[in-house]
Amino acid sequence: MKKQNSIYIIIAAVAIALILYFALKPKVVAESEAEEPATEKPHAEAPVKEVELNEAQYNAAGVALGTFTMKNLSDVVNANGYTKLPPQNQADISVHLGGVVQTIKVIEGEFVKKGEVLATIESPEFAKLQEAYLTSKSNLEFLSLEYERQKKLSEEDVNSKKVFQRAKSDYDIEKARYSSLQKQLAILNLGSGINASSIMPVVAPISGYVTEVNIKIGTNAEVGKPLFGIVDNSKLHVDLLVYEKDLHKVKAGQNIRFVLTNQDNIEITGKVFNVSKAFENETKSVAVHADISNSNQTLIPGMYVNALIDVGTQNVASLPADAVVRADGREFIFVLEEGHEEETGHKEEGKTFHFQRIEVKTGTAQLGYVQVSVLQPIDKNAQIVLKGAYYIQSHLIKNEGGGGHEH
């Protein structure tokens, strides 16, 4: 009996064990299957999202398209400075003889050509000077004839050497006086005609823009006091202040890039033509002079600039900083899809433009440009949104909130 009971107990234990095994097996399998992909799944890439703009939206965004630009963003020296004009391209106009201002023919900001009359000055001294010139001219003609006559008589031993020497002396003295008066008239811009005038024109010594008008009608023009100021901005250059630690890197012939501190970030290029050999005041910085190569902007002396001096040759693919947008802790650019700039079929809507959002990684940033590495393959000639990317990103977010789509 005891033996039979033992058999029943063993059979019951086996049955319970089988029931527990089959009951727990699905849970174990499910847990193992759930854990396996987690250990093998790679880092998920950001999905490529598409944005569609109609022509009105495209124009409103002010979209500008382009490609990567190769720039040196690492091997550079940062410098600040200002635009400067050489002294030979600036002029202060004054008079050599005083007088009263009769007319003023220009205003500040006006462009004038070299030799153009800026004003007229009146003084009786001008007439006296012309009178002395005309008198000297007449005397010189007489003394010239007398000198030739006495020279001939002296050669023929008709008169004494003393008479000839006196004639020669008088002629030389008057000749020198005549030449002096002629130069004075030329400096004063006074004519040398037979009619003396008390009016003297004040003319521009260089071509350029009038920056100052320091006189009024009836003002007494004083000798040596500037009446006008003129600048010729065609020879404008930049002076960059480079500190001692970077001075050994900078040489003539290196390229520079700069933007105006208080203007739009439009990049202007130039080339170093001279490095000063002394410190500027007590700043422990040296002035580096650079020509301006390309500038479509109106530049005037004294504008502050932020500049980069290229001291290396390593160029990297870069885009304007505004071309890169950030979302979900990542960085993206937008690319115009090839073949997706097309007519909608509705005349009032015009064209549609399709853009893909591509993930990128940025590096060094300088002067409004940033190094960009693309993390998803794009065509080498792809048209990238350089301006208007934030508008497109906002449009994408809006669409996603209303059921946007992903690819």
CB 279 within 8 A of CB 290: no
Return the minimum-mean-pLDDT range out of 31-40, 78-87, 257-266, 384-393.
31-40
* Mean pLDDT across the chain: 81
Predicted pLDDT at 101: 94
Exposed, middle or buried by CB within 10 Å (0-12, 13-18, 19+), for 40? exposed
HEC assignment per residue over 75-112: CEEEEEEEEECCHHHEEEECECCCEEEEEECCCCCCEE
Separation between Cα atoms, residue 57 and residue 302, nearest integer Å: 40
Stronger pLDDT, 407 or 324, i.e. the higher one:
324
Please report the pLDDT score of residue 299 as a whole number: 83
**CATH fold of 49-72+316-401, please?**
2.40.420
**Predicted pLDDT at 61:** 85
Lowest model confidence (mean pLDDT) among 65-74, 332-341, 384-393:
332-341
Q: What is the mean pLDDT of residues 261-280?
A: 82
What does the domain layout of the chain look like in residue ranges? 1-39, 49-72+316-401, 76-85+236-310, 92-231
Q: What is the pLDDT of residues 356-401, one digit of tens each?
A: 898 999 888 877 888 898 888 888 888 999 998 899 888 888 877 6
Nearest one of 346, 332, 353 to 62, comparing CA atoms: 353
Q: What is the pLDDT of residues 97-153, one digit of tens each?
A: 889 999 999 999 999 999 999 999 998 888 888 888 889 988 999 988 988 888 888
Q: For 274-297, what is the mean pLDDT?
A: 83
Q: pLDDT-based confidence at 231, cuts 50/70/90?
A: very high
pLDDT class of 37 with cuts at 50, 70, 90: very low
Task: Name the nearest CA neighbour of 270 among 83, 67, 85.
Answer: 83
Confidence of residue 347 (pLDDT cuts 50, 70, 90): very low
Rounded percentage of the chain residues whose pLDDT exceeds 70:
81
pLDDT-based confidence at 29, cuts 50/70/90?
very low
What is the band of 41 on the pLDDT scale with cuts at 50, 70, 90?
very low
Segment 148-161 mean pLDDT: 78
Q: Across residues 45-53, what is the average pLDDT?
A: 75
**How does DSSP classify residue 365?**
E
Q: Does residue 329 register a pLDDT over 90? A: no
Is the pLDDT at 403 greater than 50? The verdict is: no
Q: Which tokens belong to 347?
A: 């005349």
What is the mean pLDDT of the segment spanning 209-229? 92
- Answer whether 276's CB lies under 8 Å from 239's CB: no
The SS3 call for residue 176 is helix
- Predicted pLDDT of residue 45: 57
Residue type, 100: V
Secondary-structure class of domain 92-231 per CATH:
mainly beta
Phi, psi of 314 (to 5 degrees): -85, 110
What pLDDT was estimated at residue 43? Answer: 46
Residue range 76-85+236-310, CATH number: 2.40.30.170
Distance CA 141, CA 163 (A): 18
pLDDT of 234 higher than 80: yes
Which amino acid makes up residue 228? F
- Nearest Cα to Cα of residue 341 among 63, 56, 53, 66: 53
Element (H, E) at 374: strand 369-374
In this structure, how many other beta carbons lie within 10 angstroms of the beta carbon of residue 215?
20
| Torsion sign over Cα 13, 17, 20, 22 | negative
Contact 107, 212 (CB under 8 A): no
Please report the pLDDT score of residue 213 as a whole number: 94
